[in-house]
Structure 1
Amino acid sequence: MTEPIDSSRPHPARRYNYWLGGKDNFAADRESGDQIAAVTPSIRTAALENRAFLGRAARHIAEQGVRQFLDIGTGIPAPGNTHEVVQAIDPAARVVYVDNDPLVLAHARALLSGTPGTIAYLDADLRDPAAILDHDDLRPLIDFSRPVGLLLIAVLHFVRDDEDVEGVVTKLLDRLPAGSWVAASHATYEFMPAEVVAGLAKANRDGRFVPRDGERLRELFGDRVEIVEPGVVSVAHWHNDEPARASAADVMCNALVARKR
């Protein structure tokens, strides 16, 4: 049974929707988003750059021949959804979305009504990878004997170290066959002035948000994958042929795309 929508507390998916210019958010999300934007005025640009990275990474993986994708922490549907990107390459490509917010689920149901057979949505939490990997609704679309594209876009920084973030990544990768691909982006404070970091820490009262630097992001995946060029870089700079709209400090989010060995 889906939990009721709690509009009194901010949620990352709805706050992200607000930064992207969407309307599927509540006052608590906007207030939280504005508090963060007061400290880091470039946060909306960062959200847009992260979304653009999702599209480039998903396209790259599809161009390697992958036709099934597991997108965890998908957020509220918006232009450039994963299935739109990969099905432009192959209309038969399959995508399973995962998120744990009731509002995301409501929008996902509307999305699914128009695209039967190639898309599914799981109401599940990244912190419980077994619940995702063994979900009954995942099996019809994801065949773990064939390469899978795993997308972890702007979601790992919501898993704390005491929630075994490395174990979460390991369990997901262990289920994927060799030749699978993973794309991840992760918030970082490594390029930011100390006073800005201090302001962000005040806005992160519950400690749910855990920035990690590029080296730590690389460590989460260990030697189980081969990171492709250009390595761990800002989301704004990963295979981006357009003029840079923001610096690494403004975007404050690293990215990697890797192939499982």
Structure 2
Amino acid sequence: MAEHDGSGPLPPPSALPSGSPVSPLPSLLPLPSVFDAPPGWRPPAVDTDSAHIARVYDYLLGGKDHFRADRQAAELLQRANPQIRDACRQQRDFLRRAVTHLAASGLRQFIDVGTGLPTTPSIHQLARAAAPGARVVYVDNDPIVLSHARVLLSDGAEGTVFVDGDFRAPEILLQDPALRSLINLEEPVAVLVTGLLHFLSDHETPAHHLKTLMDACPPGSHLVITAGAADLSVDLARATAAAYRQCAIPCRLREAREVLELLGELEPIAPGLVAMAEWRPDAAVTRAVRERQIAYGVVARKG
């Protein structure tokens, strides 16, 4: 596959060389819902020889749910970008601040698409700390994430469900019985899509999928996204993108105007589209941190 500078569209996953050591994204193969799985059903076998971005992210955050291939990919990323762990933490902290703000502002329904492996505090814990009774739907289609969801929900987290779904099939996701049983699409919803968009090429039409999700939600709903930036810490971001490509993981960096285009007619709330660490920070952002930003964060409202 030809080299790419990280600033333009990448070829679709189908164009990746065969035998690549890393799976670009989970497949679209539907799995039974955690609520209607037939007796004796088990998740598909996990490919431990291929790195998966959710497990790479887990390793970088200090988790324990990863395999050798995931660790090798993470170490390659760290060589390319020694601050990659900080970037992962900044994304998690951005999501924490966004969820807390939206719950405190009156949002009571959350759909976390591409949730990945659980971290602490979880989305439903954050939302309910600000808004007791908030309802949360987690969405993913990775077998390991699915198994963790079973454990998470077995703890009696009322008002929380896990849906086996794919961001790239939003029409199917929106019709899922478990989602529809918990989320009232006639009331405002917060849709969370973080840590995902920079792994989707333009060929995979992320703007269309975001629009489909938000078209199903009423006015007053909000979209929360992060996106790898082509125009913040340019050299660092391109080195990170190149490391992902070396692992056969597509990485599409986007300039600020391209990220705003993903929002369609949604209106960003203050402070607008900014580096993740600069979205309503808990403390002043230092110059050193500002100079190492490689992703945007934004919360946008449907009018």
Establish whether TM, by shorter chain, passes 0.5.
yes
The answer to whether the aligner puts 1:15 opposite 2:56 as a matched pair is yes
Work out the CA distance in 2 between the residues paired with 1:144 and 1:60.
21
SS of residue paired to 1:150: strand
Identity of aligned residues (%): 37
Decide whether the 8 Å contact of 1:14 with 1:76 is kept in 2.
yes
Aligned partner of 2:45 in structure 1 is 4
Letter paired with 2:158: G
Deviation at 1:191, TM superposition (A): 2.4
The answer to whether the aligner puts 1:92 opposite 2:108 as a matched pair is no
Aligned partner of 2:297 in structure 1 is 255
Change (3 A) 1:195 1:251: closer
Aligned partner of 2:25 in structure 1 is none
Change (3 A) 1:198 1:185: closer
Letter paired with 1:4: A
What is the count of residue pairs matched by the alignment? 260
Equivalent residues in 2 for 1:144-183 (5 A)? 144-183=185-224
Work out the CA distance in 2 between the residues paired with 1:87 and 1:196.
35
Decide whether the 8 Å contact of 1:158 with 1:208 is kept in 2.
yes
Equivalent residues in 2 for 1:44-193 (5 A)? 44-193=85-234
Deviation track 1:143-196 (CA, whole Å, cap 9, x = no partner) reads 000000111111111221111111111111110101111111111132234486
Letter paired with 2:47: D
Q: 1:214 aligns with which of 256, 261, 266?
A: 256
SS of residue paired to 1:3: coil
Deviation at 1:3, TM superposition (A): 2.6
The answer to whether the aligner puts 1:31 opposite 2:61 as a matched pair is no
SS of residue paired to 1:204: helix
Deviation at 1:124, TM superposition (A): 1.4
Work out the CA distance in 1 between the residues paired with 2:234 and 2:301.
34
Q: CA RMSD in A?
A: 1.7
Deviation track 1:54-78 (CA, whole Å, cap 9, x = no partner) reads 1100011111211110001111111
Work out the CA distance in 1 between the residues paired with 2:220 and 2:239.
41
Return the TM-score normalized by structure 2: 0.81
Decide whether the 8 Å contact of 1:42 with 1:251 is kept in 2.
no
Where does structure 1 differ by over 6 angstroms across 4 or more consecutive aligned residues? none
Decide whether the 8 Å contact of 2:244 with 2:251 is kept in 1.
no
Change (3 A) 1:164 1:109: same
Work out the CA distance in 2 between the residues paired with 1:97 and 1:67.
14
Decide whether the 8 Å contact of 2:192 with 2:224 is kept in 1.
yes
Work out the CA distance in 2 between the residues paired with 1:260 and 1:235.
21
SS of residue paired to 1:70: strand
**Runs of 5+ consecutive residues of structure 2 not aligned to the other structure:** 1-30, 32-42
Letter paired with 1:90: A
After superposing the two structures, state which structure 1 stretch, 236-245 or 88-97, moved more.
236-245
Decide whether the 8 Å contact of 2:224 with 2:300 is kept in 1.
yes
Letter paired with 1:142: I
Aligned partner of 1:233 in structure 2 is 274
Decide whether the 8 Å contact of 1:10 with 1:28 is kept in 2.
yes
Work out the CA distance in 2 between the residues paired with 1:113 and 1:232.
37
Work out the CA distance in 2 between the residues paired with 1:173 and 1:85.
22
